[in-house]
Structures are given as structure tokens and as C-alpha cells.
Amino acid sequence: MAIHSLNTAVESEYKGLKIHAASNLHRRCFSAVERLGLQESSRVLDLGAGEGAFSQRLIDAGYDVVAVELDPARFQLKCPHYSLDLNFDFWDKLGQQFDTVVAIEIIEHLSSPRHFISNCLRLLKEGGSLLLTTPNLESWLSRIKFLREGRFLWFEEEDYRSYGHITPIFSWQIAQICRENRAEVIDITNTDDSLLKNRVGNGFIDTLRNKSWYMSALKPLMKGRTKGEIGIYTIRKR
């Protein structure tokens, strides 16, 4: 399983369609799709498509795109799309299977990660790929924030009220769910740490700098995926 880190300039929309995701996440996700080596006519399902910014990017690359967005008035494109609540079974509502399923910043809004990933995998052809993103709870800053405040980064009360973030999930849980469903995580990319300062503000970073013993004592103890605000998982169905 490979782990990568990508850096790009800020991007907030694509061809006039607003990107409802962390800064530059769509660009990073599209790079992950490109690494799959799909044929131009491959069938791709975009879940939680919003206005359709990522769907449009996929269409421009020549893929056969189907989108799912809970609010049908929100989706702005002419491609096939469905209004479905992803908290419930949706694999049997689309009547087809896909080469790739994309779920950008969706799983943390849903009540059951196992149910969601299982539905996604049932929609894939054998050997197909699921591209999934979620906040990286294991980042060094999220761990320190939990130690100080008892909450992970992106799962504070304001995130619950404003964004509907209700389900934090660790990378090892995603790997477990995949094994339960005859799939495996084959690649992880992540956003870089430079975006974290914009999220938590100067005050929190300054506090860490002033208490440098926090870092010197804790960093050697931190194992796993300590870098990156958002994790991007490529999952392969066996």
C-alpha cells in the first residue's frame, strides 16, 4: 500500500461550479483517479456530487458519469443523476455497475460507514475501485487536539452544527471494513499540513510553539498516518 502527499495551489471551483470540499481536495482526488489508468469510456459514479464540480471534471476526462446528490435542485449538470439518501441502501437503485465509485467528503456525514462502504462495493465491477475521502483523525494536530480538548479535528460542535460531521473514522477501521467486504485499501494520499493552520488559527499553533515540550515528548510516540488533514483512500474490489 503506497502513501503519497500532494501540494497544489488553492482551488475553490471548477468551470463555475462551486467545490463543496476542503481546499484542493478535488484536484488531489482527480490525480488519484488518473492513477487508476481507466479507459476513456469507463463508467464512474460520483456520490454526494453537490453542484457537479467533480462530475464535470470526470466528464471532461471522457468518462461515462452518473451522479448522486440528495438535493436534486443543487446538481447543475445534464448527465444522469439520482436523488438518494446514502444512509439507506442505494446499491440496488441504479441498475448498473461501475468501474469506479467516488465518495468525496461523504462518509463522515453518514451514520454507518460499514453500510456505506458495503453499498459502494456492491456497485463496483470485479476489480473496480472506490475512491473515498475523510478527515485524517490520526494527524499529529488532531491527536494533540483530542488530548487537549477531547475532540478530533473536524469533529467539534461547530462542525456538527455547520457541516453535519457525525462519524469520525480511522484508517484501520476502513481497512477492516474492506476486508469484511472482500476488498482492500491499495493506496492512501493526503492533503498537506500547511492547510491545518487556516483551520485551527494562529492561537492554537502559537500555543504549541510556546509549549514545545508537547511536541518533543509526544511526536516520537505517534505512529501511523501523522501527516495530512484529509485522507484519500483508493480501495480495490477483489
Residue-wise pLDDT tens digits, 110-147: 999 999 999 999 999 999 999 999 999 999 888 888 98
Alpha carbons 238 and 185: distance in angstroms, whole number? 11
pLDDT at position 219 is 67
What does the block give as the cell for 28?
488531489
Q: What residues have CB less than 8 Å from 217, skipping those under 6 apart? A: none
Alpha carbons 101 and 112: distance in angstroms, whole number? 18
Q: Residue ranges of the domains in the chain?
A: 2-237
In the structure, what pLDDT confidence band is assigned to residue 226 with cuts at 50, 70 and 90?
A: confident
Is the full-model pTM beyond 0.95? Answer: no
Mean pLDDT, to the nearest integer, of 19-38? 94
Q: How many residues does the chain have?
A: 238
Burial of 105 (0-12, 13-18, 19+ CB in 10 A): buried
The answer to whether 67 and 91 have CB atoms below 8 angstroms apart is: no
Alpha carbons 206 and 56: distance in angstroms, whole number? 40
Mean pLDDT, to the nearest integer, of 58-84? 97
2-237 CATH: 3.40.50.150
Mean pLDDT, to the nearest integer, of 67-83? 97
